[in-house]
A and B are shown apart, each in its own frame.
Chain A
């Protein structure tokens, strides 16, 4: 158990002048579950591999438990890693897979057997101990990969999209099991995923990366409620936040026919930049159906019925939003009373639920 610190750590792949990870700085507390999330190519896996020692750190330092490990090989970092492909040793049985690391660490044989049995018990894979990976299902392999990590009782767990090869149902159940197991063992964990639902449900804190640059590192709730910029706002949440640029008139954002008052901080921020538009975001659940005059008109293009919820997709009437390429405005509506396709509804943003971003930098205002 230990803290982990990335300190201005960068990685340049040979032949590329753009860093894959650019001056990443995150302090991870002892026992914390940190999720690295972002679209593909954002550098999240590279960041994890830098921590593992499988990727060079070209600038900056990485510390585990206060000790500088930047130039140490993986075996000297006391970490355990779960790979996306599980990377089990195909020629070894499950028990041998799990005890390999202990053997390398020169743990006596009887202790090895004991620890493997204990780990197998926790993960419910005791009956599989004598099998080879080939004879296991995907879910079982995933458990063995977890077992191989926990049997070592390392300082840090590293997990690189460990659930992405499982089917949807198993993924949801394994997700909660991993989170529960981590809390029980109390071992600092860095977990990489591209799935923002996984990130939100599992992490104590979530770090959002884009193009190798850390966008925001905060608790799931804070990411959701106060995204630091328009990228995080659009990335976190499903369906994603509606984000549009609207003209600003007298401290109000003009959405179609209605004006939405901006807070004084937001207006000040815009004034400092000399901007006459604002990047405004509102989540599908922050929109209510309203009457004409109260809300802006939206022509319904599609209604998605999910049972508990229904989502309405449409475009704002009277703006250039109507183009077929323009992303739809998405609203959550009561599934019992869904408007028909082609009709026009009026939507109102719940007061205080809007997110305003600078149209120039994309950063949060206020």
Chain B
């Protein structure tokens, strides 16, 4: 079979193989699945698109039924938002999200290490404890939190909100980081110990670079959760420490909805998350599938 009856170069044979691959029959089932996936995907994306478009409309165009698709875009709504002093809310959100994410990662690393590599006694219970803190609905804890904040004079304080977000995201981060740590080859860590590494060196020089994609994914998820958090923000802040989600609901008033303005504000609110996700997407995919692909 491999005997060359007609002289062919390797390049020609490779090209022929590609042609054969391209001509492969696609089954009807695969086509149906493909179409379904596209329809569902577009369906999910349509509200985001609607929000994005509405932000560039005038209020009158925004509330027509059926929605208008052809209009003269305007930046009026964005101007109006910036006039309403959007920046402090944005800075508060950014502070709470970034600070809590950094704290979460710093705390989750050693906690996850103790629950996976250097297993403490009763590590299963520890793991369950972390998860159990997420089982109670947030609303059940708001009263004590409010009273604590009030008594220590930290109501409407961004530091307090950052700490709340840290506590809120820590269990998820511990679970995620732990799942990356248990996938690490044990022998590599042992090699580092034999090579003379102490605990901190082992963490910083060996473990950290190996789970970096996973840490990035964890950090991104914590950032998104903190950025989007509404309940604690609206309950524990008023004017000084209010975050972007609190700002957004300001457009839902008893006089009516300002669709265009709300859409413009929402678009600005999701922008940082989209940018962060886009920057981290390469790492994110690797991080979320860490261990699965060796």
Chain A: residues with CB nearer than 8 A to chain B? 52-54, 73-75, 79-81, 83-85, 87-91, 100-101, 104-105, 148, 152, 158
Contacts and interface: CB of A to CB of B under 8 A. Distances in A.
13 contacts: A52-B194, A75-B193, A75-B195, A75-B196, A80-B195, A85-B185, A87-B185, A89-B188, A89-B191, A89-B206, A91-B209, A101-B195, A104-B197
Interface of B: 185, 187-188, 190-198, 201, 205-206, 209-210
Contact of B188 (A52, A73, A88): A88
A91 B210 contact: yes
Nearest to A160: B187
A242 B172 CA distance: 61
A79 B192 CA distance: 12
Nearest to B187: A87
B286 to A, nearest CB: 13
Contacts, number: 59
Contacts of A83: 187, 190-191
A22 B5 CA distance: 68
A54 B190 CA distance: 7
A100 B193 CA distance: 11
Contacts of A100: 192, 195, 197, 205
Given A90-B210, A91-B209, A91-B210, A81 B198 contact: no
A104 B197 CA distance: 6
B193 A54 contact: yes
A74 B198 CA distance: 10
A53 B195 CA distance: 12
Given A83-B191, A101-B195, 5 more contacts: A52-B194, A75-B196, A81-B191, A104-B201, A152-B195
A365 B178 CA distance: 57
A85 B198 CA distance: 22
Nearest to B209: A91
Which of B194, B201, B209 counts the most chain A CB atoms within 10 A?
A: B194
Contacts of B190: 52, 54, 74, 81, 83, 87
Contacts of A81: 190-191, 194
A214 B188 CA distance: 29
Contacts of B194: 52-54, 74-75, 79-81, 158
A360 to B, nearest CB: 42
Nearest to A85: B187
Contacts of A53: 193-194
B190 to A, nearest CB: 5
A80 B205 CA distance: 19
Q: List the 9 shortest-distance A-B pairs measured between CB atoms, nearest first.
A: A104-B196, A101-B195, A87-B187, A87-B191, A91-B209, A75-B196, A83-B187, A74-B194, A74-B193
B16 to A, nearest CB: 31
Nearest to A73: B193
B197 A75 contact: yes
Contacts of A104: 195-197, 201
Which of A75, A81, A85 counts the most chain B CB atoms within 10 A?
A: A75
A87 to B, nearest CB: 4
A88 B192 CA distance: 9
A148 B188 CA distance: 13
A66 B194 CA distance: 20
A191 to B, nearest CB: 16
A36 B208 CA distance: 35
A90 B188 contact: yes
A158 B201 CA distance: 23
A74 B188 CA distance: 14
A190 to B, nearest CB: 13
Nearest to B195: A101
A144 B191 CA distance: 13
A158 B190 CA distance: 13
B118 to A, nearest CB: 12
Contacts of B191: 81, 83, 87-89, 148
A248 B205 CA distance: 67
Contacts of B197: 75, 100, 104
A80 B206 CA distance: 17
B206 A75 contact: no
B129 to A, nearest CB: 23
Contacts of A54: 190, 193-194
A85 B185 CA distance: 9
A104 B188 CA distance: 16
A105 B197 CA distance: 9
Contacts of B187: 83-85, 87
B88 to A, nearest CB: 41
Contacts of A87: 185, 187-188, 190-191
A132 B194 CA distance: 21
B188 A101 contact: no
B210 A105 contact: no
